[in-house]
Amino acid sequence: MSNGLNGKVALVTGGTGGIGSAICIKLAQAGCKVVSTYMDEAQANDWKAKMAAAGFDMAIVKCDVSNFDDCKAMGDKLNADFGGVDVLVNNAGITKDGTFRKMGPDQWNAVLDVNLVSVFNVTKQVIDGMLNKGWGRVINISSINGQKGQFGQTNYAAAKAGMHGFSMSLAQETAKKGITVNSISPGYIGTEMVMAIPEDVRNQIVAQIPVGRLGKPEEIAALVTFLASEDGAFITGANIAANGGQHMC
């Protein structure tokens, strides 16, 4: 039975990172031609080589997703090289944690730009192509902390909650045209971003997760691939939590 993803072009922003790499691999295994954005050329070439050694032919494209002109240039290149994008995973994200009283405009703007403004910048480049084809998937990687808030993350939680507002609205605008738009809200996943939390704070967080462990990147990637597939066609405007029971709503 086909999952409908064979030959589809998937763009994963920040695909060379922890959750991103797992998403790229699962989509490639499902038959997609996968393209990841990158910022650091040496790191991206290294990633591409590691993927090739594991049997995956990933494409990479340099793009600062917080910059609209950069995204426009990337969109033009993807149209020329691959005939557009069928599956977009807005996954690129950063943290700059700090209590609100200590947070400066740079810390606020950087997180809003990379995590939320990027969703406008990148989706804008691919949506017309999806509308023309009458098929598309936009999957936004939000966060548990966009649903419940988090001490030290006014910037990140605002951006992540904003991503889901975007998903619901675009889902309504495109549902009749064969496009689904959804958010996934991962909990704490065992990636570099989470391992950067001070150990004592991280241990307190893990203690609040009913399943008793951090999540795995592959568990988020499986959900992305399901939403991208034909089996996910009736799900749109949803925000699907994968957080080990840490937050239930």
Q: Which residues bind ligand CAA (CB under 6 A)?
A: 95, 97-99, 102, 143-145, 150-153, 156, 188, 193-194, 197-198, 201
Give least dist CB 198 to ligand CAA, A: 6
Q: Take residue 188 and report the two structure tokens written for it.
A: 């704490």
Strand order in the sheet with 59-62: 59-62, 33-38, 9-12, 87-90, 136-141, 179-186, 239-242
156 as an active site residue: the answer is yes
Q: Take residue 177 and report the two structure tokens written for it.
A: 């045209």
The active-site residue, picked from 135, 156, 166, 188, is 156
Q: Is the CB of residue 10 less than 8 Å from the CB of residue 89?
A: yes
Cα dist from 140 to 195, 207, 224, whole Å: 22, 27, 9
- CA-closest candidate to residue 103, choices 156, 61, 140: 156
Q: Is 34 or 241 the residue whose CB approaches ligand CAA more closely? A: 241
- CA-closest candidate to residue 121, choices 163, 169, 65, 171: 65
Q: Is 19 or 60 the residue whose CB approaches ligand CAA more closely? A: 19
Alpha-carbon gap, residue 96 to 173, rounded angstroms:
33
Q: How many residues does the chain have?
A: 249
Give least dist CB 132 to ligand CAA, A: 34
Q: Is 74 or 221 the residue whose CB approaches ligand CAA more closely? A: 221
Give least dist CB 97 to ligand CAA, A: 4
Adjacent-strand bridge partners of 90: 140
Alpha-carbon gap, residue 157 to 149, rounded angstroms:
6
Give least dist CB 224 to ligand CAA, A: 15
Q: Is the CB of residue 65 less than 8 Å from the CB of residue 122?
A: yes
Q: Is 21 or 229 the residue whose CB approaches ligand CAA more closely? A: 21
Q: Is 131 or 214 the residue whose CB approaches ligand CAA more closely? A: 214
Residue with nearest beta carbon to ligand CAA: 152
Give least dist CB 153 to ligand CAA, A: 5
Report, as residue numbers or ranges, the catalytic residues.
156
